[in-house]
Amino acid sequence: MSTLRKHNLLSILIFAVAALVSPSEGAPSSKTACAALTKPTIPGASVLSIQSQHLPNATVLASPPLLNSNFTGLDLCSVDLVISHHGVNDRVKIKVWLPSTGWNRRFVGTGGSGYAAGFFEYSLAPVVALGYAAASTDAGLSGDPYSPALWALHPNGTVDEDLLLNFASRSVHDMAVAGKAVAAQYYGKKPAHSYWNGCSTGGRQGLVAAQRYPKDFDGIVAGAPAIDWTRYVVAEQWPQVVMREEGTYISQCVLKSFTDASIAACDSLDGVADGVITDLQLCKFDPLSLVGTSAQCDGGRENITAEMASVVAKILAGPKGPAIAHPYALNPGAALDSLANTTIANGTRVGLPFFVNDAWIKYFVKKDPDFDTGSIGYSAFEAIFNQSQREFGPVMGSYQPDLSAFRSAGGKAIVWHGLADQLIFPRDTVAYHQKVVQTLGRNASAVAEFYRTFLAPGVDHCGAGPTPGAVPADPLSAVVAWVEEQKAPNVLEARRVEADGTVITRNLCPFPSTSRYRGAGDKSLASSYTCA
């Protein structure tokens, strides 16, 4: 047994004994006024400051896409902490919001997107309005979701490993520790249950907690999780690599023709023509079928050539190579113009790499802000794919499939992913689910007792756009019911409001089942479908 293991066992024993002799330890019983809250203890970090203030009538105005509606009349205790990790020159902000009245005895950690770990009041307002105590953190980063330029590299050009660790995992735990402790002080009792709710980077943070801090959250909602970051993000560059190597950059308009044609080819396979591909296994879409047709574009009709079709086929196939275990590729039905975006520069169509992969390759893999990702061809691609995983996989991959500690702690996770996600590959989420099953004894029903994946047909990244598919309506309540009432989600309720106000409902099916029309009944209602 290693010294480390021994040490861990020893501290577990000491904890167990301490719990026996002092059962009330850590269970405060008197409330503290908001302004009088004191610094919590955060292992591995110093709390540099705490500022707390009662906000009796707080407003958070909508700020799409971060927050789509206004929140007014919030009565809460707002707590701002600044912490710094021992031996690290970082400044991590954590904001905790505690409802003054109507606390539901729950704590929820909220996540970020892109290169931001969280968005403070924009993440907090929707859950605090529901009675949750909640926290958000910037992980000590710039807060800019679009770029890590201000934090990725030290002045000497090496990667700031400490801040990368904050972004990858550490800040999720700090926030959970801080948020729960501050809530316990304020209310005089600990939260009865703790949850995570996030999408994209927020989904990755939730699964990182299940992997590395399995006792932090009783229930986790992880939407479109950016797990396997070190591989999938490099693979997001693939469409640009193909267009460059094949010398064929395709207009957004023509890309849309391919997406539309793939939907037309596969929409009805589930028995319903609703503009949504439900069954991807049966979907056989051949881009070459569009050769000789044309697309109506702004500047007139554009002919679709064999070269364009071949490029789209290569994009949909994804990169292949000895180190590439499964397809890192968009599904038919997903918009191609995010990852394969192009623009006209000086009269010529050129590639426009997506910012997440562009920045990851520049700042982290190449450590060169001036590196031109548009120059990457097939062979350089594979080397970058390998290097990204080799150098950063252990810290940033977030793809550990052993969730046994989370299961033992009683944790429940609802993972969901839009099948028409245009940025993060749903196949990675499915592959992770399969790895979890494989790792935990190859028993899918045993895994379903604590971990379920729901795929949302026709839904784009985090359901943010006007997608034709129904988006999970309230996954947080679903995981709360699973944790607190042992009501496992046999389906995940989803809805979509049409332009004319019609509400479409669907029940998302737990992977590997998929939704099938019963053959009769209103096609806009969930009750007309079954999971098969």
Ligand X SMILES: *[C@@H]1O[C@H](CO)[C@@H](O)[C@H](O)[C@H]1NC(C)=O
Which residues lie near ligand X (CB under 6 A)?
57, 59, 61-62, 69-70, 72-73, 154, 156, 158, 294, 303, 322-323, 337-338, 341, 343, 345-346, 352, 382-383, 386, 443, 445-446, 449
Q: Encoding tokens for residue 362?
A: 């520049």
What is the DSSP code (8-state) at residue 153?
A: B
Residue with tokens 């494989």, as numbered in its chain: 438
Ramachandran region of residue 28, left (φ > 0), alpha (ψ -120 to 50) or beta? beta
Compare residues 347 and 501 and give the one whose CB is closer to ligand X: 347
Compare residues 49 and 69 and give the one whose CB is closer to ligand X: 69
Written as one letter, the residue type at 167 is F
Written as one letter, the residue type at 91 is R
Q: Which of 85, 173, 433, 461 is catalytic?
A: 461
H or E stretch covering 173: helix 171-187
238-246 and 306-317 are packed helices; what angle lies between their axes, rounded to 10 degrees?
150
* Cα separation, 154 vs 150, whole angstroms: 10
Compare residues 299 and 519 and give the one whose CB is closer to ligand X: 299
Compare residues 271 and 465 and give the one whose CB is closer to ligand X: 465
* Residues 49 and 94 sit within 8 Å (Cβ to Cβ): no
CA 97 to chain centre: 22
Compare residues 259 and 278 and give the one whose CB is closer to ligand X: 259
Burial of 130 (0-12, 13-18, 19+ CB in 10 A): middle
Written as one letter, the residue type at 366 is K
* Cα separation, 493 vs 486, whole angstroms: 17
* Cα separation, 456 vs 417, whole angstroms: 6
Q: Which of 113, 200, 257, 262 is catalytic?
A: 200
Active site (annotated) includes residue 421: yes
* Residues 333 and 277 sit within 8 Å (Cβ to Cβ): yes
Q: Which residues contact 299 (CB under 8 A, 6 or more apart)?
A: none
Compare residues 236 and 382 and give the one whose CB is closer to ligand X: 382
The sign one gets for the Cα dihedral 98, 104, 106, 108 is negative
* Cα separation, 334 vs 39, whole angstroms: 47
Active site (annotated) includes residue 461: yes
Residue with tokens 């719990």, as numbered in its chain: 19
Cα-flanking dihedrals φ and ψ of residue 89, to 5°? -90, 50
The sign one gets for the Cα dihedral 266, 269, 271, 277 is negative
Compare residues 62 and 525 and give the one whose CB is closer to ligand X: 62
Compare residues 103 and 450 and give the one whose CB is closer to ligand X: 450
* Residues 531 and 509 sit within 8 Å (Cβ to Cβ): yes
* Residues 228 and 397 sit within 8 Å (Cβ to Cβ): yes
Query: To the nearest whole angstrom, how small is the minimum distance from the Cβ of residue 23 to ligand X?
Result: 32
Give the E-state strand segments of 66-207 in sequence order.
71-85, 92-99, 106-110, 133-137, 193-199
Q: Which of 218, 270, 421, 460 is catalytic?
A: 421
Compare residues 149 and 272 and give the one whose CB is closer to ligand X: 149
Active site (annotated) includes residue 460: no
329-349 in b/e form (b: 16+ CB < 10 A) is bbbbbbbbbbbbbbeeeeeee
H or E stretch covering 379: helix 378-396
Query: To the nearest whole angstrom, how small is the minimum distance from the Cβ of residue 168 to ligand X?
Result: 18
CA 348 to chain centre: 35
C-alpha closest to that of 127 among 158, 163, 102? 102
Query: To the nearest whole angstrom, how small is the minimum distance from the Cβ of residue 449 to ligand X?
Result: 6
Query: To the nearest whole angstrom, how small is the minimum distance from the Cβ of residue 266 to ligand X?
Result: 22
Q: Which residues are catalytic?
A: 200, 421, 461
